[in-house]
Structure 1
Amino acid sequence: MRRFARGLRDERSGFAQLPLPPTLPASLGCDAVGVPARHGFRLMGRLPSTGCVFADTEWWWWIVPAGSDLELDWPLPARYVSGTRVPAQQPRLIHWPDAPTPYTPPIPFYLMVCQLTGTTPMWEERRQGEIPVRQRG
């Protein structure tokens, strides 16, 4: 268990890999959403369900299903990261989910982050029957 407590840090890049527990299946893939640490307890206390959460002194990182940024504009200061390699010093697992997956449900989390930042939630509009195209830049 100890090896899952801390992220694997790459000293040269300033990034760390968040090590997901192998006992929690991540069949949907994983991305991470970070918020400044000062907001961590407030968000965790208000979410109806919370997945794996990692923290260091500056940021808290929530694990969400891959693609949780599709059609959502995550407000600043939140950071959305594809995958689980995040800009962090020494993240450690601080919350183990009650559910059998590592995920925090992205829509309630997104709405809480918007409320916290005073931002109106924004969904990209698409025509009925249109298939979204995911672009990375």
Structure 2
Amino acid sequence: MKPQESTHEPRPPAHELALRLSSTPRGARLARTLAVQQLTEWCGSPYDSETVRTVALVTAELAANAITHGRLPGRDFGLTLLLLPHAVRIEVTDTRPECPPPIPAAGPVSADAASGRGLLLVEAYADRWGCTVRDAYTKTVWAEVR
């Protein structure tokens, strides 16, 4: 008797979510919303808990940076969430391989500037963050929140 072939695709691990989103303000808002929804599903944390609010803020800033500074026309950005034993890891992959400058090199931001504080917020709220370049076409900016 011949073994039956499965028609089901393999499922990702229960504690990983990976999505492609449009490099638009709508895609960035959706990244934030999906991160909050996924974290509350994984951990049962209320929407207004400190951890969920922090993950929402960090995801929003990383996604906003991806659509503002890492966007090429017609190319999406990636959002990956991983529930690690010690933290939630948020990864945003965009289409420009240049890593952002270190925070001190960014210099002061004018008090009335409409932008320029995103990575300062990530630095303040994430326990760890960084940038990884895996190929010549993309980079991943990641942050971990306990």
Q: TM class by shorter-chain length?
A: under 0.3
Identify the structure with the greater helix proportion: 2
* TM-score, normalised relative to structure 2: 0.25
The structure number with the bigger radius of gyration is 2
